[in-house]
Amino acid sequence: MAHDWARLNPLVKAFIKLSNIKAGFEDHTGVDQVIRASSGIDWTLVRAVTLTDEPTGGTVRAAEAGTEKPGARINRADLARFLVQTIEGDAWTRKAPLVWSTPD
């Protein structure tokens, strides 16, 4: 999660520090650290951009944070489909993909 903090712009960092989001961000960081330090288990930390209730459509994209510029949103149904595919496969084992949708 330290990597997540490093990628944030200064205004977002200030907002997190000065708001009640700080506690949630710290919890998120702690979970990330515990999961990554675990041995002997397979894990995937899926991170979604803004969730919407829009109809499914477009292409679901996933990448390690910082490797691609993500889209702004993903609908819940597409995210659910990605989660099921992730459980059934091993492409994202021991990784933390950022997931978004792109229009076709």
Residue 3 pLDDT level (bands cut at 50, 70, 90) = low
Q: Which residue has the higher pLDDT, 22 or 63?
A: 63
Q: How many CB atoms lie within 10 A of CB 95?
A: 15
CA dist., res. 76 & res. 74, Å (int): 7
Q: Which residue has the higher pLDDT, 67 or 27?
A: 67
Q: Is the pLDDT of residue 74 over 80?
A: yes
**29: buried, middle or exposed (CB in 10 Å: 19+, 13-18, 0-12)?**
middle
The secondary structure of residue 71, as a DSSP letter, is -
pLDDT at 38: 87
pLDDT tens string 22-38: 777 777 778 888 888 98
Residue 1 pLDDT level (bands cut at 50, 70, 90) = very low
Residue 75: which of 96, 56, 91 has the closest Cα? 56
**Which residues have a Cβ under 8 Å from the Cβ of 74 and sit 6 or more positions away?**
48, 49, 50, 51, 52, 60, 99, 100, 101
Amino acid identity, residue 50? Answer: T
